Amino acid sequence: MLSPVTLLLITAALSVIMLLVLGSLMRSGIPGVRSWFAANVLAVLALLLYAGRGVLPPLLSVEAANGLLAMCIAVIYAGFQQFFQRPVPVRMLAVGWICTMAGVAGFHYLVDAIAMRTVAVSLFHGAVCAAIGVTILRCQAQAGSRYSYFFTAGVALLLAASHLGRGLMYALQSDMQTADYQTTAWNLFFLAVGTLVLPLLTMGGMMMVHDRMVVRAEEQANRDYLTGAWSRRALFQVADRELRRVARHRDPVSLLILDVDHFKQINDSHGHAEGDRVLVDLVLRASAIVREIDCFARLGGEEFALLLTHSDAAAALQVADRLRQVLEQPVPTAAAITGYTVSVGVATLQAGEQFSALLARADAALYQAKHAGRNRVRVAELA
Ligand SMILES: Nc1nc2c(ncn2[C@@H]2O[C@H](COP(=O)(O)OP(=O)(O)OP(=O)(O)O)[C@@H](O)[C@H]2O)c(=O)[nH]1
C-alpha cells in the first residue's frame, strides 16, 4: 500500500507543478492568483515538514506543519475572495487559525491526544473549504462558462464534507491512538483528501482564471475600444444569429445606420479629441434609448448601426426619429462642441434577404438622407 510519506511527497510535487502554472498566470493581473501562489509555497513547506515526522522535532513536524497548512487553506480562501473582488475576512481567519493552533498545541503538550488534534485541524479546513464553495456558488453569475465555477465549488464542498466527516469520526473515537502517518485505510483516505485539497482548489481557481481571460478577450474583441459600443464583428455575429432565428420564426428585423453629419468639420475645427468625445457622447445617449436586446454597434469612423429585433418598418422608423431628435439636443457635458446632428438610413429585412443586402439598402437610405440635407431619416427602397 502507498505509504503516507510517499503521498505527502507526491502532493508536495503537485504543489510545485501548480506553482509553475500559477507563475505563468501572474501577468494576467487577475486578482487571487498571487494568493494562490503564496498558498502553494506554504503548502510545499507544510507537506515537507509533515513528511519529516519522526525525523524532525515535533515542534516542526506537528505545530509548524499544521500551522502552515491551516494558513495555506486560509490564503487560498483569501484568493477566491479577491478573485470575486470581495473583502477578505482577515480577522475571522486569524481567530480561526489561532484557535486551531491552540487546539493543536494544547492536545499535544497539555494532553497528548492525536485524535483531538485532528479534530481541531479538520474543523478549520472543513469550515474554510465550505466558505470557498459558498463564495463561488454565490458569485458564479460573473462566469462566462459555468463549468469551471461549478467544478471548483463542488470540489470545495466535497472536501469540506470529508474534512468535517473526518473531524466527527475522530471526535467520536477520541481515544484512538493512530496517527496520520500510520498506514490504515481510513488514515490514507483522509490524508489523501487532506493533501489533495490544495492542488484541486488551485486547479479549480486556474480554470476560473482561464474562463475570466476568455470572457475578457471576447469582450475586447466585441467592443469598440473608444466608445464601448459593440464592434462591427459583434454586429455581424448577432446579425447572423438573428437572421437564422427569423428564418424559422418569421419575426420582423430592421437595421438603422446612423452617421454624424459633417464630422470632418468637427475634427478640423475642434481637433480629433473633441471628435472622439462626440462619438462617446453619441453612444452614451443612444444607449439610453435602445433596448438591451438590440445591438448598437460602431461600424467604423463616425458610422453606427442599430439592429432592431422584433421591429417592423414602422417601429424602426419611430426609433430612428427618436434617436435623431435626442442626438440633435445640446450635448449635456461641458465640451467645445455644443451640438451635432445625425442622418439615419432605415431598412427592414425582406424574406430571404442576406444581411449584406440589408446593410447595403440601409446604407443607400443613409446616403439619401445626407443628400436631402442631413439631420433626417430615410427609409430604404424595397429590393
Ligand atoms: N475624431 C475621430 N475622427 C474620426 C474617427 N474615425 C474617422 N474619423 C474622421 O471622420 C471623418 C469622416 O468624414 P467624412 O467621411 O468626410 O464625413 P463627414 O465630414 O461626416 O460628412 P458627411 O458624412 O457627409 O456629413 C474623417 O475626417 C475621419 O478622419 C475617430 O475614431 N475619431
Q: What is the ipTM of this complex?
A: 0.95
Residue 304, beta-bridge partner list: 258, 298
Q: Is the CB of 261 under 6 A from ligand 1?
A: yes
Number of CB atoms found within 10 A of residue 122's CB:
24
Task: Check residues 3 and 209 and name the one with the higher pLDDT.
Answer: 209
CA atoms of 18 and 36, how far apart (whole Å): 9
Domain boundary among 195, 220, 245: 220
Question: Are residues 168 and 267 located together in one domain of the fold?
Answer: no
Give pLDDT, residue 238. 94
Q: Which of 198, 220, 242 is the last residue of a domain?
A: 220
Strands in 261-330 per DSSP E: 295-300, 303-308
Q: Does residue 216 lie within any of the structural domains?
A: yes
Q: What distance in angstroms lies between residue 302's CA and the mean position of ligand 1's atoms? A: 6
Pocket mutation for ligand 1, best pick of 259, 260, 262, 267 (most atoms within 8 Å of C-beta): 267
**Is 295 in a helix, a strand, or coil?**
strand
Note whether 93 and 66 are same-domain residues.
yes
d(CA 308, CA 315): 9
The answer to whether 209 and 18 are in contact (CB under 8 A) is no
Contacts of 168 (CB under 8 A, 6+ apart): none
Render pLDDT for 12-52 as a digit per residue (tens, 0 to 9): 999 999 999 999 999 999 999 999 999 999 999 999 998 88
pTM: 0.74
Long-range contacts of 7-13 (CB under 8 A, 24+ apart): 7/188, 7/191, 7/192, 7/195, 8/47, 8/48, 8/50, 8/51, 8/191, 8/195, 9/47, 9/48, 9/51, 11/43, 11/47, 11/195, 11/196, 11/198, 11/199, 12/43, 12/44, 12/47, 12/48, 12/51
DSSP 223: B
Length of the chain in terms of residues written: 383
* CA distances, 59 to each of 11, 104, 105, 120, 223 (Å): 22, 11, 9, 17, 57
- Could you read off the pLDDT of 81-99 as tens digits, one per residue? 999 999 999 999 999 999 9
Q: CA 218, CA 323: separation in Å to the nearest integer?
A: 28
Nearest by Cα to 319 from 289, 364, 339: 289
Active site residue 219: no
Q: What's 108's DSSP letter?
A: I
Of 172, 190, 220, the domain-final residue: 220
Ligand 1 centre distance from Cα of residue 263 (Å): 5
State how far the alpha carbon of 167 is from the alpha carbons of 110, 121, 122, 145, 189, in Å.
20, 8, 5, 35, 13
pLDDT reading at 336 higher than 80: no
| Residue at 17 is within a domain | yes
By most ligand atoms within 8 Å of CB, the mutation choice from 232, 258, 264 for ligand 1 is 264
**Which 3 state secondary structure label does DSSP give 52?**
coil
Q: How confident is the model at residue 246 (pLDDT cuts 50, 70, 90)?
A: confident
Q: What is the whole-number distance in angstroms between the Cα of residue 299 and the centre of ligand 1?
A: 12
Q: How many CB atoms lie within 10 A of CB 57?
A: 10
Q: Is residue 349 part of a domain?
A: yes
Does residue 300's CB lie within 6 angstroms of at least one atom of ligand 1?
Answer: no
The residue-averaged pLDDT of 49-70 equals 90
What pLDDT, on the 0 to 100 scale, is given for residue 8?
84
pLDDT in tens, 211-226: 999 988 988 889 999 9
Q: What's the pLDDT tens digit per position in 252-306?
A: 999 999 999 999 999 999 999 999 999 999 999 999 999 988 999 999 999 999 9
Pocket mutation for ligand 1, best pick of 263, 266, 340 (most atoms within 8 Å of C-beta): 263
- Spatial neighbors of 190 by CB under 8 A, at least 6 apart, are 162, 166, 180
- The band of 183, judged by pLDDT with boundaries at 50, 70 and 90, is low
pLDDT confidence bin for 335, thresholds 50/70/90: low
Q: How far is CA 121 from CA 99, 133, 318, in A?
A: 10, 18, 67
Looking at this protein, which amino acid is placed at residue 282?
L
CATH number at residue 299: 3.30.70.270
Tell me the residue range of the domain where 64 lies: 4-220
Contact 76, 201 (CB under 8 A): yes
281 lines ligand 1 (CB under 6 A): no
DSSP 106: I
Asked whether residue 289 falls in the same domain as residue 192, the answer is no
Query: Among the atoms of ligand 1, which is closest to the Cα of residue 261?
Result: 25
44: CATH: 1.20.1070
- 226 domain-assigned: no
Distance 323 CA to ligand 1 centre (A): 20
Query: What's the 270 CA to ligand 1 centre distance in angstroms?
Result: 13
Among 302, 303, 328, 353, which one carries the catalytic annotation? 302
| Number of structural domains found in the chain | 2
